Amino acid sequence: MAKNKSVSLPDFIKQIESKLKNVDVVPKPSNEGRVLSIGDGIVRASGLSNAGFGEEVEFDDKTRGLVFNLDEDETSIILLSESQEIIEGSRVKTTGKLLGVTVSDSLLGRVIDPLQAPLDAKNLVTSRGKFYPLEKIAPGVILRQPVDTPLKTGIKAIDSMIPIGRGQRELIIGDRNTGKTAIAVDTIINQKKRDLNLPQVICIYCAIGQKRGNIARTIAKFDAAGAMEYSIVVAASSSDTPALQYLAPFTATAIGEYFMDQGRDVLIIYDDLSKHAWAYRQISLLLRRPAGREAYPGDIFYLHSRLLERSARLSSKNGGGSITSFPIIETQADDISAYIPTNVISITDGQIYLKTDLFNAGTRPAVDAGLSVSRVGGAAQTKSMKQVAGPLRIDLAQFRSLAAFAQFGSDLDPETQKQLDRGRRVAEVLKQPQYTPYDEISEIISIYAATSGALDDLPVDKIALFEEKVHDFIKVKNKKLVEKLASGQKLDDKTLAELKDEVEKFKKTIK
Amino acid sequence: MVNPNIKKLAKLTAHGVNVDPDVASFVLGKLGRRELLAYLRHLKAINNRRTVRVLSQEPISEVQKRNIIKRFSDKEVLFVQEKIGDGIKIQINDTIIDYSMHSYIDTTINRLKE
């Protein structure tokens, strides 16, 4: 029907009639079964001979379930919600539908559970939108292109030494209370800035098996920082069923794929995949699947690899969208050689390793520069950042090794003392308080000041004060220089000299 | 007795038109309660595969019955009266084709929603 064209009432009635005629109401055969046993959220049912793996089923009381095991005589189903009404002999029927979510832009700013039920006391309109199955085959090689656009975290230590590109999978790994979630939250907050004039990143925070209080606190931080307008939270807390915890990352990914297919850039935080593995282990043991190492089922690697493989950067022909993912893994006693950590390390394109010792020594973020790596992000780093941050990793590594020897208290030669002094300043510059992401220009100024030796004569305890004000000083005073730094191009000697000069000038005001 | 053997026994029982008296006495005399339950389940499954159940609230006319029997000539057709509202439901093993008015309305509403 053309817009603004009036239609007579009889014609309008005819249009409705023809639409109704096109509605296919021929009954489709359904497949039924009977519950044989139920316990721990697992139902074994007979019948259902035509059920498919991953198909949604429905019980008499409208409770939904997911087909998880298909045996010769029976089917194992995981319940997606708790029910008191399912008993032995209850009827269960197939729906012919794969479990999925109906996604539209209206999900932005919302907090939902893995089955798309709202958790933020607002109504959710899900009838309009596009259906995305939770399980989907990852984009093939032909559909992809290499990572070439940076995803700025706003954290100096990461953007300089472990740069991340859009479409990359970067693991955040460390013991409890080492600042893993803090890095993820800061990265989401930093997307508000749209640093380097890059397109907006849609952020999806997927909380798995966390305490409800912690989830609420994280959401409050997003709200306070104005990050919810471009974010979605998918939450399955520790009190939710293992089935929901298992599904949460798949829901987050399915939502992300909707935005990626529209050519937009998406960031998904899986917080955390250790608890996801626990939930899957629980389900698998209840389903009596054979247990392997640490009682995890044999396909635990495939579970995470097929999930993370869905993070990709699509080629321009296919819209150019991307999904960047930050899976989080919690280690026990800094042991990164345990089963799940090694699995996820080998799946991802790098890892940010957070160390308890560094955290307790006041280095925050507690990034271990030696063990952290970004395998593909280097290609996405701007030339100016690459140039400035080049000596950073070496300076820091030399400092850490020399600092260990210097503890013995023997006399040090002037060259070693100089290296130690430089290292202390570099380490100090890389400290950054939470919820204060830096833009690229500020990061370049700080890092260049440290690596060029401009801060060598400034007391270490004054560096925080210096950093607090130097960015605004240069941004206000020398706009031309700021423009050059923001261009992302390699900085010539003149520009570097100019930058050093400005830093020196400001340093005098501190002294 | 393990499950595969119980299944074999159920198949053997349902092999002919009538149940072999030796098999029947073995089943009733030797199988425990748990084994009997499993045996019954397999037996019912075999029987269901051979049978078509036609459910309706009102009795079906003889002409319609003949038509339905003709369609499922290789199976035994049972006509069962059950409170399903208007229309009929056909149950072939665990597959159900629902031609009831209730299902028609539900399907129409769901399709229109889509």
**In this predicted model, what pLDDT tens digit does every residue of A303-352 receive, in sequence order?**
999 999 999 999 999 999 999 999 999 999 999 999 999 999 999 999 99
| Mean pLDDT (whole number) for B78-88 | 90
- Report how far residue A478's alpha carbon sits from residue A502's, in angstroms, rounded to the nearest whole number: 8
Among the residue ranges A4-13, A74-83, A99-108, the one predicted with the least confidence is: A4-13
The percent of residues in chain A predicted with pLDDT above 90, rounded, is: 76
A73 vs B: CB within 8 A: yes
Angstrom distance (rounded) from CA A354 to CA A331: 10
* Most A-contacting residue of B94, B102, B113 (CB-CB within 10 A), to test interface: B94
CA A384 to CA A406: how far, in whole Å? 34
A24 touches B at CB < 8 Å: yes
Q: Check CB contact of A100 with chain B, cutoff 8 Å.
A: no
Higher pLDDT, residue B28 or A285: A285
- Name residue A79's amino acid: L
Q: Does B112 touch chain A (CB under 8 A)?
A: yes
> Distance between CA atoms of A184 and A325, rounded to whole angstroms?
10
The pLDDT-based confidence of A409 (bands split at 50, 70, 90) is low
The mean per-residue pLDDT over the stretch A73-99 comes to 92
Asked if B107's CB is within 8 angstroms of A32's CB, the reply is no
Select the residue of B93, B97, B111 nearest A49 (Cβ to Cβ). Answer: B93
Which phi and psi angles does A156 have, rounded to 5°?
-55, -45
Q: Is the peptide bond before A199 cis (omega within 30 degrees of 0)?
A: no
A209 SS3 class? strand
How does residue A8 score in pLDDT terms, banded at 50, 70 and 90?
confident
pLDDT in tens, A166-221: 999 999 999 999 999 999 999 999 999 888 889 999 999 999 999 999 999 999 99
Structure-token pair, residue B54: 């036609």
C-alpha R_g of chain B: 19
pTM of the model: 0.89
Contact A313, A322 (CB under 8 A): yes
Spell out which residues of chain B touch residue A36, defining contact as CB-CB under 8 Å: 41
pLDDT of residue A104: 93
User: What SS3 string covers A38-77?
Assistant: EECCEEEEEECCCCCCCEEEEECCCCEEEEEEECCCEEEE
First to last CA, chain A: 75
pLDDT at A85 over 90: yes
Chain B hits for A27, CB-CB cut-off 8 Å, are 97-99, 103-104, 107
Number of C-beta neighbours around residue B70 at 10 A: 9
Residues of A noted as catalytic = 375
CA distances, A218 to each of A225, A323, A435, A479, A499 (Å):
11, 21, 12, 36, 38
Q: How far apart are CA A218 and CA A209, in angstroms?
A: 14
What local confidence, expressed as pLDDT, does residue A127 receive?
65
pLDDT of residue A213: 96
Residue A3 pLDDT > 60, yes or no? no
Mean pLDDT of A399-426: 83
Q: Does A262 touch chain B (CB under 8 A)?
A: no
Top-confidence range, A72-76, A162-166, A190-194, B38-42: A162-166
- As for the ipTM of the complex, it is 0.78
Closest-CA distance, B17 to chain A, in angstroms, reads 24
Mean pLDDT of A408-428: 85
CA distances from A417 to A399, A403, A449, A461 (A): 10, 10, 19, 18
The partner residues of A327 in beta bridges, in order of sequence, read A270
Which residues of chain A neighbour B45 with C-beta distances below 8 Å? 46, 73
Among the listed residues A123, A176, A184, A135, the one whose alpha carbon sits nearest the alpha carbon of residue A158: A184
At residue A511, the pLDDT reads 61
In angstroms, the CA A362 to CA A135 distance is 42
Q: What is the mean pLDDT of residues A473-487?
A: 91
More confident residue, A177 or A3: A177
Mean pLDDT (whole number) for A10-18: 82
Mean pLDDT calculated for residue range A137-141: 96
CB contact under 8 A, B45 and A73: yes
Q: How far apart are the first and last CA of chain B?
A: 51
Q: Which of A103-112, A443-452, B1-10, B48-57 has the lowest mean pLDDT?
A: B1-10
Q: Tally helices (H) and strands (E) across chain A.
A: 16, 16
Element (H, E) at A31: strand A30-39
Q: Which 3-state string (H, E, C) describes A338-378?
A: CHHHHHHHHHCCEEEEECHHHHHCCCCCCECCCCCEECCHH
Cross-strand partners of A348: none
What's the mean pLDDT when you consider all of chain A?
92
Does residue B15 surpass a pLDDT of 50?
yes
| pLDDT for the residue A1 | 43
pLDDT given at position A410: 67
Q: Band the pLDDT of A124: cuts 50, 70, 90.
A: confident
What is the model's pLDDT at position A4?
56
